[in-house]
Structure 1
């Protein structure tokens, strides 16, 4: 029996768009002729997987079907949530659909993760399939590349059969604590799960009987049309809104970890998105998108819906104007040099791979006091992303009107 992949595709991704009501959900953002959902659909085409199941909601149904068609996936099932109830009801309802056998191995993916070295990832899934039973849950840990406070962590101990049992979860620690966790060989909690259908049922029966009872009804009363289950709203909204982590993982003792040392990100912040563009910038650079200025130059790497990615090159002793923007905020990732940043009344020096957020209407400037060039990858986020949205206060090159 092949592994059934389940893609959780209901998230709104509001963290990236704090000031926008009409933002795109992260999994559908075009980053340059590719999306995170598209990458996930390609990932589940591996020979170890059966046809995918996608859990989403009515708002995203059209986009999900467009992606399935674009990636030539003809066999699939969609489970449509009638209301937002977080990941616990979503995971359970998807597992309960009738064409999944009781002992079926289910691999739960998030639609918005970027994973490289997929062959290593898939081998680790296959290798652990025989360790699944009707109670346990395997989660995926990623070896940290930095003491990030954006991810949760977990610690493990080795038990018989070379299995890593999870002993403790640490929820998004501050950087100092994250360093201590990494020293103890802690791993990032990726939020992906591998378990059997009967394990899901048994854990929900034991720890979340209300969610279980209402999800059973929501699936039993669901309407089925065009490969899509429309869950019953009256029953589903009675299921308690909880994440799978809080509902199950914090209660059950039978959690094991699959540890991976592969490039992974959920692109959950503009800092992570900027790192991704910096790593792959040669794919995006075009000569016609290079613009020269008295302080150096900038290159437009990619323009998406309400965002623009640039690389700034500030020559030695170069200084941009003191300025603000009415219609956009900016996220900067320093990739080379030690620029002096002015942000409203504060000034500070930034090092490579440090991140700075420039809010809407904030007065700001970049200055390169050194003898080597400064490079910054910038995301402009807002309704107007043109040079016309620059209000200059001071400029050493005489550009203040």
Structure 2
């Protein structure tokens, strides 16, 4: 059996404003009804695959489990990194965790934010690579290039290798992201593949590679895994040991140094969705090169991407050419297609001016559901709060605000002081300043309420928690 290992960190700034630090692109529905993360998990499920292992950050742990549950996948383990340290420590931590029970076990490592339309072809390529991985090789997957792309690293095949083969081929070397002229030369040569960052190897083989080539990474990661703590089903890697882990990619740490390498060519379609130009391409432009999704309309446009992610915002483009426009409730991006890779500069500029839109998503996701601010004034705020069936907010109080709750969908179980009562649709309850209170959804359907806050300070840090089923401080 192959254990999928999904790497689930990163901020996806090149797909701002849809992708942000608080809710990056892997969790968004960019292409289909499922998120990219869910698509990746389903792609590596079924015959020959065991339950997946997820490596992610603390802020995403409940999003990960919620999205997996929605597609009926139970993870083998969810490893929580104290902070991101690039791919080498993340993959090694997964290998050490797997080796504790199955050192010979194969692990298929993949980013969780890529698109591979033909899942069956991908699984067939994985199976074709299994014999080499079982023999102790480190197998990387190379994508047949369709253009001289400067945004990807490349894999150079060894002399005599076949870039179109259906079995793993010998690999000469890894090549850094090239400039346009060099990329064109490599495409013309025909013996280069895109580096997809997807790998297949045994836990034992990968650990041996770190022992030989990156012992400085192995020692602190092994300590972080050995001293890990279990928390609500999550495995928290030791922050003390993790603080000593170098920030390094798996390519730099071991792949570029190892001699037991092979590359599995894959030509059935792949994209890392590394920019809005890639989203435009993968979505499938019409005859005039336009893509209009959501509540967007293109009139006499050419080569244009128009997306509105808010049903309350109708986006209309007239006479546009080679333009990307993405509308969110709190931010709008307008850019020339040729500048798609510069979108991250917008995030940097917004951070510099202190705009929360740089990093925070309009919907603030919590383990119990989510909320969004509808109206904010100097001394009041109106929120919509969505609570999952069976979920509960913490037992808490506030120093600076009182709250009114109006249930608009479902039924809420509300605690205020010593009183506990059910509040149904069209009913409301008042939470006085300083009162200890809790909101729960005892039903089997989502519960939605409107919260009106009034007070001198309305920040999310004005919360004193007394009990919390999600073990938040």
Counterpart pick for 2:335 among 327, 331, 336: 331
**Aligned partners of 1:222, 1:356: CA distance in 2, in Å?**
40
Shift in alpha-carbon separation, 1:285–1:220, aligned structure 2, 3 A: closer
Check if 1:144 corresponds to 2:141. no
Give the 3-state SS of the residue equivalent to 1:97 in structure 2: helix
Check if 1:46 corresponds to 2:13. no
Check if 1:205 corresponds to 2:211. yes
Checking the alignment, whether the CA contact within 8 Å between 2:12 and 2:19 is kept in structure 1 is no
How far 1:167 moved relative to its partner?
0.5
Instruction: After TM superposition, list the pairs within 5 Å mapping 1:207-226 onto structure 2.
Output: 207-226=213-232
1:394 aligned partner: none
Give the 3-state SS of the residue equivalent to 1:240 in structure 2: coil
Deviations 1:218-277 (A, max 9, x none): 111111244321111111111111110110111112211000111110101111112223
2:76 aligned partner: 76
2:407 aligned partner: none
2:126 aligned partner: 125
Shift in alpha-carbon separation, 1:238–1:128, aligned structure 2, 3 A: same
**Aligned partners of 1:275, 1:298: CA distance in 2, in Å?**
10
Q: Structure 1 length normalisation: TM-score?
A: 0.72
Instruction: After TM superposition, list the pairs within 5 Å mapping 1:371-382 onto structure 2.
Output: none
- What runs of 5+ residues in structure 1 fail to find an aligned partner? 321-325, 334-353, 362-380, 384-401
Shift in alpha-carbon separation, 1:138–1:330, aligned structure 2, 3 A: same
Instruction: After TM superposition, list the pairs within 5 Å mapping 1:179-190 onto structure 2.
Output: 179-185=184-190, 186-190=192-196
2:278 aligned partner: 272
Shift in alpha-carbon separation, 1:90–1:174, aligned structure 2, 3 A: same
Deviations 1:269-322 (A, max 9, x none): 111112223448999668x85476xx779999642379x99784639xx9x9xx
Q: Structure 2 length normalisation: TM-score?
A: 0.62
Instruction: After TM superposition, list the pairs within 5 Å mapping 1:138-177 onto structure 2.
Output: 138-157=139-158, 158=160, 163-177=168-182
Shift in alpha-carbon separation, 1:355–1:210, aligned structure 2, 3 A: closer
**Aligned partners of 1:257, 1:246: CA distance in 2, in Å?**
17
Instruction: After TM superposition, list the pairs within 5 Å mapping 1:308-323 onto structure 2.
Output: 312=317, 314=319
1:36 aligned partner: 36
1:348 aligned partner: none
Checking the alignment, whether the CA contact within 8 Å between 1:17 and 1:23 is kept in structure 2 is no
Check if 1:239 corresponds to 2:245. yes
Give the 3-state SS of the residue equivalent to 1:266 in structure 2: coil
Checking the alignment, whether the CA contact within 8 Å between 1:330 and 1:357 is kept in structure 2 is no
1:256 aligned partner: 262
Give the 3-state SS of the residue equivalent to 2:245 in structure 1: coil
Shift in alpha-carbon separation, 1:40–1:356, aligned structure 2, 3 A: closer
How far 1:208 moved relative to its partner?
1.1
Deviations 1:136-194 (A, max 9, x none): 21001111111110111111124799641110222111111111111222110101011
Checking the alignment, whether the CA contact within 8 Å between 1:134 and 1:202 is kept in structure 2 is no
**Aligned partners of 1:146, 1:298: CA distance in 2, in Å?**
18
- What runs of 5+ residues in structure 2 fail to find an aligned partner? 324-329, 347-357, 361-473
1:365 aligned partner: none
1:178 aligned partner: 183
Shift in alpha-carbon separation, 1:169–1:296, aligned structure 2, 3 A: closer
**Aligned partners of 2:238, 2:155: CA distance in 1, in Å?**
36
Give the 3-state SS of the residue equivalent to 1:247 in structure 2: helix
Checking the alignment, whether the CA contact within 8 Å between 1:329 and 1:382 is kept in structure 2 is no
How far 1:20 moved relative to its partner?
9.3
Give the 3-state SS of the residue equivalent to 1:167 in structure 2: strand
Shift in alpha-carbon separation, 1:76–1:168, aligned structure 2, 3 A: same
Aligned residues: 331
Checking the alignment, whether the CA contact within 8 Å between 1:106 and 1:197 is kept in structure 2 is yes
**Aligned partners of 1:248, 1:358: CA distance in 2, in Å?**
31
Checking the alignment, whether the CA contact within 8 Å between 1:82 and 1:231 is kept in structure 2 is yes
1:56 aligned partner: 56
How far 1:209 moved relative to its partner?
1.0
Checking the alignment, whether the CA contact within 8 Å between 2:280 and 2:291 is kept in structure 1 is no
